[in-house]
Amino acid sequence: MGHKFSLVLSRQITDEESVTLQEAGFADAAFATDSLPTNAAVAVTKVDFDDTVSPSLAEAIESALEAVKKVPDLTVPGLSVPAVPQETPADDSRVLVGEVVEGSSVADKAPEKKATTKKRSAKKASAAVEEGADQA
Task: Using a cut of 0.85, tell me whether the model's pTM lies above it.
Answer: no
**What average pLDDT score do residues 75-86 get?**
89
Q: What are phi and psi of 49, to 5 degrees?
A: -120, 150
Contact at 8 Å (CB) between 75 and 21? no
Mean pLDDT score, 121-126: 52
**What CA–CA distance (Å, rounded) separates 70 from 87?**
37
Among the listed residues 134, 120, 3, 19, the one whose alpha carbon sits nearest the alpha carbon of residue 63: 3
Provide mean pLDDT across the span 79-90.
80
